[in-house]
Every structure is written in structure tokens, then in C-alpha cells.
Amino acid sequence: MSARLKYSSYYLPEIIVTNEMIHERFPSWPPSRLKDLMGVENRYYASEGETVNDIAVKAAEKLFLEFPIDRSEIDFVLLCTQTPDYFSPTNACIIQDRLEFVKTVVHWTFLTVVRVLFMVWVWQNH
């Protein structure tokens, strides 16, 4: 048995927060320093009521529009997040249902704390 990732896509929420916007609120944090520390110039925030499941479904729907993928060939859903909408049923299960995949699709929600650990390191070393 083997697995592979053949296609990928993404969805970015509509609310954008730039390094310049952060600098306006925190003048001692220059945009160039933020980019050096974080590696990004923009952050994308979910709208009020938009959940991690909504974002995942939008990314998947975009993937289906961009590539010739037959939904019936999908056999695994993996969601990695530190902010799940629910603990039971798992978010991947809900995403599987919303995308109308066959019920035999394996689904797994992987909770991660890596981002939190990175943010703590940045805060301590800025």
C-alpha cells in the first residue's frame, strides 16, 4: 500500500492583516523585522462565523475546480489544525460529509501545537 499527494490547493480568508497594520498598532515592531521573524508579510483571518471546516471545504472545492479529480477516487481526508470546530465527531468526518465523499473514506483530524511553540519562541526572542 502506498500513498501520494498528487494535487494541492488552498483558500485564504478575506480579512488581511499586513505587517504595516501591525506596525501601526505596535510602533516598536517595524514591518521588516516582523517579516524577518515570521517569514510573512500578510496574515489571513477568518470572517465572523467562518470555521476551520469552512476553510477546508473551500480549499477542497477550489482543488476540484483547478484539477481533473474524481471525488469517488478520494480515499483519505486528513485535517491538521490546532483549532478544531468539534472534537466529536472529528472535523475530517464533517468535511468528508460536506464534500459528499463516499462513506468508506478514511478520515483523521490531527491536532498540532507546533504553531503555538513557534509563536512562543518568537515572542521570547524578539
pLDDT digits 0-9 by tens, 86-101 = 777 788 888 888 988 8
Domains of the chain by residue range: 68-124
Cell of 71: 471525488
Distance CA(27)–CA(94), nearest Å, equals 42
Three-state SS string over 90-107 comes to CHHHHHHHHCCCCCCCEE
Confidence (pTM) = 0.74
70 exposed, middle or buried (CB, 10 Å; 0-12, 13-18, 19+)?
exposed
| Span 79-84, average pLDDT | 80
